């Protein structure tokens, strides 16, 4: 058996790796870790979406997480743990401040989801504006549905306005993919310059203007204290009567009760949701029965390329730290300036140099 004190120890979520060391998600290739004699791979305890304890990670150098929670109780200052890599781009299940204080870097996998999530946004936009859900039902209702098909014409996109909230990795990709539709594209992101947006043919506007002026609003921002219920009753009331809301970010970015009311009253034309405030939603949630809503179980972007790409990014982050390097995708870059963390990296670099 491998001596864990002489190896780089990586704990991997049971949602991603089975106890027999086979991939729980078949598209992930763990061989770069499993075939490396200097790496010891183990499964993390199966806590589902619960909290990992300090004892669960005490002997690890790195962890690859699914939706396990990390709190200040998990990461003890001065411990061995140096990296937590999230299988995805959301990090609201991790206490980032506690990780930084505990000298633990947190990495995400933006390249793994950039194109798949942006493609999902475009898919929802096209399906909503073309009335695809209703037309599918009309087609099956022979001959009645065929006789009334012209009552369900869609919304043409040329010259319409696409509003993007959050112009990071995914939001910018949405703009790139939407460009051929000849839409006017506007966006809000307090952390991205107007010049950067303009380089993609996008006009920077204030947040409320995104809701007021757009025919389609796409939410692509992270969930934090500033974005929780960002799409609230007030902003939803600003939207055009024939407009659509798309959320592929995190459920709580939208005030779901306010959205339900807006949809029921016809204040907006429809919504495309890949995420919910409660997941899975309650079976009595009105969204599940609405004809003007398209739904997906937080999985629309799940493709072979997405699933494999997320795993590849996390593995790359683990190997970077093992070789004394800083991963490219940290959400807490300040940790790289902490002397204790620097010493960890130096030690890894000397121990496991290529």
Active site positions, annotated: 250, 279, 298
Is the Cβ–Cβ distance between 70 and 99 less than 8 Å?
Answer: yes
The conformation of residue 34, written as its DSSP 8-state character, comes to: H
The conformation of residue 132, written as its DSSP 8-state character, comes to: H
Is the Cβ–Cβ distance between 231 and 254 less than 8 Å?
Answer: yes
Alpha-carbon torsion, ordered 83, 87, 90, 92, to 10 deg: -60
CA atoms of 172 and 260, how far apart (whole Å) = 28
SS3 29: coil
User: Per DSSP, what are the bridge partners of residue 216?
Assistant: 162, 244
**Residue whose C-alpha is closest to residue 233's, from 269, 209, 263, 276:** 263
CA atoms of 230 and 234, how far apart (whole Å) = 10
Is the Cβ–Cβ distance between 337 and 100 less than 8 Å?
Answer: no
User: Tokens at residue 55, please?
Assistant: 């004892």
């Amino acid at each position: 058996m491998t001596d864990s004190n002489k190896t780089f120890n990586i704990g991997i979520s049971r949602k991603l790796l089975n106890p027999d060391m086979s991939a729980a998600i078949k598209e992930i290739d763990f061989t770069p870790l499993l075939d490396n004699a200097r790496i010891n791979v183990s499964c993390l305890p199966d806590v589902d979406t619960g909290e990992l304890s300090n004892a669960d990670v005490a002997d690890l150098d790195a962890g690859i997480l699914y939706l396990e929670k990390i709190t200040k109780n998990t990461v003890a200052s001065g411990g061995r743990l140096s990296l937590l890599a999230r299988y995805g781009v959301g990090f609201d299940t991790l206490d980032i401040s506690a990780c930084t204080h505990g000298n633990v870097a947190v990495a995400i996998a933006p390249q793994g989801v950039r194109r798949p999530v942006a493609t999902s946004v475009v898919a929802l936009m096209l399906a909503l504006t073309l009335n695809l859900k209703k037309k599918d039902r009309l087609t099956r209702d022979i001959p009645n549905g065929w006789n009334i098909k012209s009552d369900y014409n869609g919304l043409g996109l040329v010259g319409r306005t696409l509003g993007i909230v959050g112009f990071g990795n995914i939001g910018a990709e949405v703009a790139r993919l939407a460009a051929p539709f000849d839409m006017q594209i506007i966006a809000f992101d307090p952390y991205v310059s107007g010049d950067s947006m303009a380089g993609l043919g996008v006009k920077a506007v204030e947040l409320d203007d995104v809701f007021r002026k757009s025919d389609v609003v796409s939410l692509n921002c992270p969930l934090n204290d500033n974005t929780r219920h960002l799409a609230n009753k007030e902003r939803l009331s600003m939207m055009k009567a024939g407009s659509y809301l798309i959320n592929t970010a995190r459920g709580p970015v939208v005030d779901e009760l306010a959205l339900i009311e807006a949809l029921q009253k016809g204040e907006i034309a429809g919504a495309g949701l890949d995420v919910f405030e409660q997941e899975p939603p309650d079976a009595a949630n009105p969204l599940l029965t609405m004809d003007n809503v398209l739904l997906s179980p937080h999985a629309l972007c799940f493709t072979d390329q997405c699933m494999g790409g997320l795993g590849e990014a996390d593995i790359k982050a683990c190997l970077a730290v093992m070789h004394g390097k800083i991963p490219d995708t940290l959400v807490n870059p300040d940790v790289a300036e902490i002397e204790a963390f620097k010493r960890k990296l130096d030690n890894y670099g000397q121990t496991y140099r290529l």
